[in-house]
């Protein structure tokens, strides 16, 4: 599955997850897209994995995602950030 809007729709329960139960996005994520993704992750309804490749999140983006994953309603099963050696994912919660 591609496209952040489609990924967010799955996370919000508006669309069915793919058969693989894995969502993936490759490429830059704008601040607006990051905000939408963080909101969807915090209230996610789908038990899926997520891969964000070459997204250039930076430390602030990684921290925002970490905060969303710490929400009691987040149901993400795995997170992959390949090609992101510049990001330091905070250790705020255990995944």
pLDDT of residue 92: 44
Query: E strands of 9-81, at which residues?
Result: 22-26, 49-53, 78-80
pLDDT of residue 91: 44
The per-residue pLDDT string of the chain (95 residues; one tens digit each, 9 = 90 and over) reads 458 999 999 999 999 999 999 999 988 899 999 999 999 999 888 889 998 888 888 888 888 988 888 888 888 888 887 765 555 554 444 44
Q: How far apart are CA 88 and CA 94, in angstroms?
A: 15
pLDDT of residue 94: 43
Helix (H) or strand (E) holding 41: helix 31-42
Tell me the sheet residues that pair with 50.
23, 79
Query: Could you tell me the two tokens for 3?
Result: 């496209």
**23 and 7 Cβ atoms separated by less than 8 Å:** yes
pLDDT of residue 74: 85
């Amino acid at each position: 599955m591609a496209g952040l809007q489609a990924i967010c729709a799955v996370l919000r329960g508006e669309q069915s997850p793919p058969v693989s139960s894995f969502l993936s996005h490759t490429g830059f994520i704008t601040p607006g897209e990051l905000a939408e993704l963080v909101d969807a992750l915090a209230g996610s309804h789908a038990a899926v994995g997520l891969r964000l490749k070459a997204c250039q999140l930076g430390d602030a983006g990684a921290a925002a995602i970490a905060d969303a994953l710490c929400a009691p309603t987040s149901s993400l099963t795995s997170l992959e950030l390949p090609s992101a050696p510049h990001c330091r994912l905070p250790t705020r919660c255990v995944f």
